[in-house]
Structure 1
Amino acid sequence: MKRKVVKKVLAVSLVSAMTVGLLAACGSDSGSGSSDGGSSDGGSSDNVLKVAAFEGGNGAEIWKQITAAFEEEYDCEVELELSSELDQVLTKNIQNGDVPDVVYYNLGQESGFTETMLKEQAVADISDVFDDELRGKMLDGILDGTDAQPYGDGKIYLAPIFYTPTGFWYNATLVGEGKQYALPTTWDEFFALGEQAKADGRSLFTYPQPGYFDATIYAMLAQAGGLDYYNSALEYDADTWTSEEGTKVLETISELVSNYLFADTVSNANTDGGFKINQQAVIDGDALFMPNGNWVIGEMANSTPSDYEWGMMGVPKWSADETQAVYTFTEQMWIPADAPNIDLAKEFIKFMYSDTVVDLCLANKTTNAETGEESDAPIVVPVKGAADKLPEGVTKDSYAASTADDVVAVTGTWATTAPIEGLNMKDAVYKPIDSISTGDMSVEEWQEQLVGVWEQCAGALE
């Protein structure tokens, strides 16, 4: 089909942000679960799709390519809005009555924008997008977690469009078979390696920021108690943190950050841009391991020596015969409940799983803003066989490790609740790790705080 000339709306500058609560209040009068074809509010045409996408580590070019391919396939027009501060842009736009049709903005961002939209029931039910044919194409279990079904009601509101296995990324120049340090499997082996590293003037561990412990804690909960325990924890079971399993998770993290942490971790983690300094500590051999995902390869490409080797392993197990759990991070796309063109937005989400988009994402490249240097930055769509097309190397190995026969891949996030004034989940769950490492908080105080948070959240579950 002949491609139409389309105006691409690129967000260059932002006005002062209104509060997220103000945005949510303007989000939807009809509530989530709307599956209507959209209205004509604002004079929107059925043939025009407004796509709002977060411009992050994947770069901007991939979204231009995807939307151009969609235009060609569906003979429609796409208005693409890209911003690295999309929450602020959408706050302003929606307040002014300019609601996008589809949004790419993940759970877990500092703004809590997507979580707030969910809490205010301003996100549309998109369960019908995932018919039997599409479900059969996708990775097993990828739609079952709370990052797709945030209310735990069996309905899908968030489409997991990209996925990344997470774990402990390490300096494979120093750690691994035939290297200076043997790769550990259990926590006992991990801490023994920490003592060996200390003797050599190195630290076992660092973390970019405490929020990077999200995937680690999810994996540890699943390994400690199995999937039933894990799923109950996501929905704020009262015994989550006082149980033997939960206590073991907290005490192990406390031992790790109290005794084996790179000395400058906390100060760097709380300095603008300091997370990269902690990541560089692994590259430089000052620390051996850190929690991360494969995005770190591109993120640190400019300061990584050509002979450096990355490696990734799952979070250590407490016993060798324990099932390995690998947490799979997903990136989400969703439709505002008041989107003017919901039908076409659903077609766009379906298109995100097409062979066309799979191949575009695998071939993705990013350009360093400082040097102008272009580098490979493959993105993997969660459909069967996509990761198999990756070039040989650590990125492909990390995906293969998450789907091995002896590994359980877990997804999901803390379940969505009604708004709770003053509660920031990231700060409540992960920020205390800074204080644990410095000795300003005990593991018992952290545990007590988490019990209180879980009680609040359980009472606000919808």
Structure 2
Amino acid sequence: MTAFVAGPGAGLLSACATAGTGGEPAPAPSITASADARNPFGVDAKKPLEVVIFSGGYGDAYARELHQELYKKAFPGVTIEHNATQQIGTQLRPRFVAGDVPDVLNNSGPESMDLAALAAEGHLADLAPLFDAPSIDDPAKRVRDTITPAVIDNAKIDGKDLVLNYTVSHRALWYNAALFASMGWAVPTTWAEFTALGEQAKKEGIALFAYPGQKGPYYQLWNLLYTAAKIGGNQVIIDIDNLAEGAWNAEPVKQAVTAWVEIQAKYGEKSYFGLDHTQTQVKHLRNEVLFYPVGSWIENEMAKDKPDDFEYAIAPIPDVTAADAMPYGAIQVGVGENFVVGAKGENPQGGLEYLRIMLSKEGARGFTERTKNLTVVNGAAEGLDLPAGLMSAARAQDSAGANIITEARFEGWYKELFDYGTAQTNAVMAGRITPERFCADLQEKADAIKDDASVPKQTRSR
């Protein structure tokens, strides 16, 4: 899945600073790279390592069969405890409170942990030594010079490099190219064409659009945000991330929410609000839905259910107005699927080395082979036979050129705001509140967080 998906709100670890200590959280240990390029963090080869993986769209075989085997090859005889779950928060929150934390955590899924809260409690190891360490493939290069720069931009919490986002994802509207070809339909480029296609699809008994209302409203929250950026430019999202005054009440946000609420009312299916993401995605595979707002992990996630005549392809958001700030073809490309190292774990040095192995070409290429998703490691997927959906996303990215919709970061910075936004997304899409009320409610929540001195504030300029 992706790095910053929804889960319980802020205050997840409010007890951690005082549980059993009564004082401030202990500072995270500093780890300085050694002169040994083969073991830059001074890993104790006999020390066990614990890895927790979110077993969602990517599964967990890539960790068990690839990354952990590479770690064992580097440190023969080492013991690795592997845990896979879809309930990250439920299983890990009590452990963090008790101080019993894993060395590596793939923090993803609907129960992902609040990274800002983890950072505030000193639970996240500094990844600067990782980024400055020699690359496994070319020790003359630092790790940071072998990955897309967006990784470094998105690694920071309170100015520190604390998070590794491992995958490159494309979030847009996904459809069945084979169905479109058989029906003679063209991918709509304007909102008028989009609604006209909705009328045609309705005659065929097909919903124009759907998203998972029960467990995946954040898919649609992303879609609302990236539509707003299409209309008003990336500054719309930057202002939201920076808790800028009136950011949620900006006209492009209202226009985006209104447009999608109307699509849902006219061409959606209300019964889908009770479905989870897998159930909705199966309906998509059955051609009961034309467009589904999700990221490029969808193809691997649904590989076992996908019929042979279904061909995943990506469609940019159609022009909503005649004066959209970003042209048709603008697409959101971001880094996601975050990994952190437990600063208070038993083996943070091993955790850093595990991530360094993940960022090797062997580790990254093998991940792409197993999951059919790209990583942030430059050139790691060259020559691979990629599936149709991923090729479609790559072509869309090439066509977009510089017109890339920026990734919203408040979902990792202010999880309480993001969680509230997902709940309000279902409310507005179901018609329980108006678009104006949605924007006003989100603005009120953002302002409350901005005024809360206990919440660390983050800023971005681009």
Q: Same fold (TM over 0.5)?
A: yes
The CA deviation at 1:30 is 2.8
Structure 2 vs 1, CA of residues 435 and 96 (structure 1 numbering), >3 Å: closer, same or farther? Answer: closer
The CA deviation at 1:135 is 2.3
Residue of structure 2 equivalent to 1:204: 208
Structure 2 vs 1, CA of residues 302 and 99 (structure 1 numbering), >3 Å: closer, same or farther? Answer: closer
**Aligned residue runs from structure 1 range 145-224, under 5 A:** 145=154, 148-151=155-158, 153=159, 155-175=160-180, 179-209=183-213, 210-224=217-231
String of CA shifts for 1:43-81, please: whole Å, max 9, x gaps: x95742523222413233321221121221245724223
The CA deviation at 1:455 is 0.3
The CA deviation at 1:294 is 3.1
Residue of structure 2 equivalent to 1:142: 151
Q: Distance in 2 between matches of 1:380 and 1:182?
A: 27
Residue of structure 1 equivalent to 2:258: 251
Residue of structure 2 equivalent to 1:431: 423
Structure 2 vs 1, CA of residues 251 and 345 (structure 1 numbering), >3 Å: closer, same or farther? Answer: same
Secondary structure of 1:143's match?
helix
Q: Distance in 2 between matches of 1:179 and 1:135?
A: 47
Q: Distance in 2 between matches of 1:55 and 1:322?
A: 35
**Aligned residue runs from structure 1 range 20-419, under 5 A:** 21-22=14-15, 29-31=25-27, 34-36=29-31, 47-57=46-56, 58-64=58-64, 65-75=66-76, 77-84=78-85, 85-106=87-108, 109-131=110-132, 133-145=142-154, 148-151=155-158, 153=159, 155-175=160-180, 179-209=183-213, 210-268=217-275, 274-318=276-320, 319=322, 322-323=326-327, 324-364=330-370, 377-392=371-386, 393-404=388-399, 405-408=401-404, 410-414=406-410
Quick check: 2:417–2:446 contact (8 Å CA) kept in 1?
A: no
| Code of the aligned partner of 2:254 | T
Q: Distance in 2 between matches of 1:315 and 1:280?
A: 22
Quick check: 1:35–1:342 contact (8 Å CA) kept in 2?
A: no
Residue of structure 1 equivalent to 2:450: 458
Q: Distance in 2 between matches of 1:218 and 1:438?
A: 18
Percent identity between matched residues is 21
Q: Distance in 1 between matches of 2:98 and 2:45?
A: 21
Q: Distance in 2 between matches of 1:243 and 1:47?
A: 56
| Code of the aligned partner of 2:197 | L
| Code of the aligned partner of 1:220 | T
Over aligned residue pairs, what C-alpha RMSD do you find? 3.1
Q: Distance in 1 between matches of 2:63 and 2:100?
A: 20
String of CA shifts for 1:332-363, please: whole Å, max 9, x gaps: 11122323433332222222110120222123
Structure 2 vs 1, CA of residues 378 and 342 (structure 1 numbering), >3 Å: closer, same or farther? Answer: same
Structure 1 unmatched ranges of 5 or more: 1-18, 39-43, 269-273, 365-376
The CA deviation at 1:251 is 1.8
The CA deviation at 1:382 is 0.7
Structure 2 vs 1, CA of residues 415 and 341 (structure 1 numbering), >3 Å: closer, same or farther? Answer: same
Residue of structure 1 equivalent to 2:3: none
Structure 2 vs 1, CA of residues 78 and 217 (structure 1 numbering), >3 Å: closer, same or farther? Answer: farther
Q: Distance in 2 between matches of 1:62 and 1:45?
A: 24
The CA deviation at 1:424 is 4.0
Q: Distance in 2 between matches of 1:417 and 1:302?
A: 34
String of CA shifts for 1:208-260, please: whole Å, max 9, x gaps: 23121243234224323333332221122122122222222222222222222
Structure 2 vs 1, CA of residues 435 and 29 (structure 1 numbering), >3 Å: closer, same or farther? Answer: closer
String of CA shifts for 1:15-48, please: whole Å, max 9, x gaps: xxxx75445755982346x42469xxxxx95742
String of CA shifts for 1:427-462, please: whole Å, max 9, x gaps: 421222333233221111111111111102222343
Structure 2 vs 1, CA of residues 389 and 411 (structure 1 numbering), >3 Å: closer, same or farther? Answer: farther
String of CA shifts for 1:103-130, please: whole Å, max 9, x gaps: 2223x63353545313434222212322
TM-score by length of 2: 0.79
Quick check: 2:173–2:292 contact (8 Å CA) kept in 1?
A: yes
Structure 2 unmatched ranges of 5 or more: 1-11, 34-42, 133-140, 458-462
TM-score by length of 1: 0.79
The CA deviation at 1:414 is 0.6
Structure 2 vs 1, CA of residues 403 and 387 (structure 1 numbering), >3 Å: closer, same or farther? Answer: farther
Q: Distance in 1 between matches of 2:283 and 2:19?
A: 45
Quick check: 2:233–2:325 contact (8 Å CA) kept in 1?
A: no
Quick check: 1:37–1:342 contact (8 Å CA) kept in 2?
A: no
Structure 2 vs 1, CA of residues 161 and 47 (structure 1 numbering), >3 Å: closer, same or farther? Answer: farther
| Code of the aligned partner of 2:447 | E
| Code of the aligned partner of 1:411 | E
The CA deviation at 1:288 is 0.6
| Code of the aligned partner of 1:301 | A
String of CA shifts for 1:365-406, please: whole Å, max 9, x gaps: xxxxxxxxxxxx334221222344442422232134234425
Structure 2 vs 1, CA of residues 246 and 412 (structure 1 numbering), >3 Å: closer, same or farther? Answer: closer
Residue of structure 2 equivalent to 1:446: 438
Residue of structure 1 equivalent to 2:9: none
Quick check: 2:168–2:334 contact (8 Å CA) kept in 1?
A: yes
Quick check: 1:83–1:89 contact (8 Å CA) kept in 2?
A: no
